[in-house]
């Protein structure tokens, strides 16, 4: 996609946090499942989560995506290491928590797109500062990829 002033982006991979980003109070936000299925036809989807509420496997196991559960106690570094395994200029990353800040920072610094997503559980300020944009709602965030003109309208200058 061509984003005037911001630069061209060709997104192949979505890497997203789960808790507080795609779910609210442990439940997958309505409409997220359908959008992930739609997006899986054009993107490689990875959900990287500490799975705070232990619900990610239950809600995502039947979807065409890769679920990676954080194993260590340095969640922020492990998420960054995970996203660093991709060509980040082709990655869009979603997150909201403090443990997402390094992942978003790495993607942003490597010409990918970093999006802070607020589902109502809040966003860590440090994470917000490492994002290109803040959006309210998981479905709105996923819609940025289904209707890329929204990204262009928000990020152009």
Question: Which pTM does this prediction carry?
Answer: 0.95
Predicted confidence (pLDDT) per residue in 77-92, tens digit: 999 999 999 999 999 9
Q: How much of the chain is in helix, strand and coil states, percent to nearest 5?
A: 35, 20, 40
Domain presence at residue 51: yes
- Is 38 within the bounds of a domain? yes
Please report, for the domain that includes residue 113, its CATH number.
3.40.50.1000
For residue 2, is it within any domain?
no
Q: Is residue 1 in a domain?
A: no
pLDDT digits (tens, 9 = 90+) for 103-118: 999 999 999 999 999 9
Tell me whether residue 7 is in a domain: no
Q: Please give the residue range of the domain that contains residue 112.
A: 13-155
Q: How many domains does the chain have?
A: 1
Residue 4 lies in a domain: no
Decide if 80 is inside a domain.
Answer: yes
Yes or no: say if 22 and 47 are a contact pair by the CB < 8 Å rule. Answer: yes
């Amino acid at each position: 996609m061509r984003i005037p002033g911001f630069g061209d982006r060709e997104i192949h991979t979505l890497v997203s946090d789960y808790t507080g980003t795609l779910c609210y109070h442990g439940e997958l936000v309505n409409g997220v499942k359908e959008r992930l299925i739609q997006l899986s036809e054009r993107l490689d989807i990875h959900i990287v989560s500490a799975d705070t509420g232990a619900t990610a496997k239950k809600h995502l196991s039947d979807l065409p995506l890769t679920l990676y559960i954080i194993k260590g106690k340095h969640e922020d570094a492990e998420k960054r290491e995970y996203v660093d395994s991709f060509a980040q200029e082709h990655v869009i990353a979603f997150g909201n928590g403090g443990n997402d800040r390094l992942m978003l920072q790495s993607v942003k610094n490597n010409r990918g797109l970093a999006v802070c997503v607020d589902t109502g559980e809040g966003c860590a300020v440090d994470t917000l500062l490492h994002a290109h944009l803040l959006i309210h709602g998981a479905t709105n965030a996923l819609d940025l990829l289904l209707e890329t003109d929204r990204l262009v309208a928000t990020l152009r200058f």
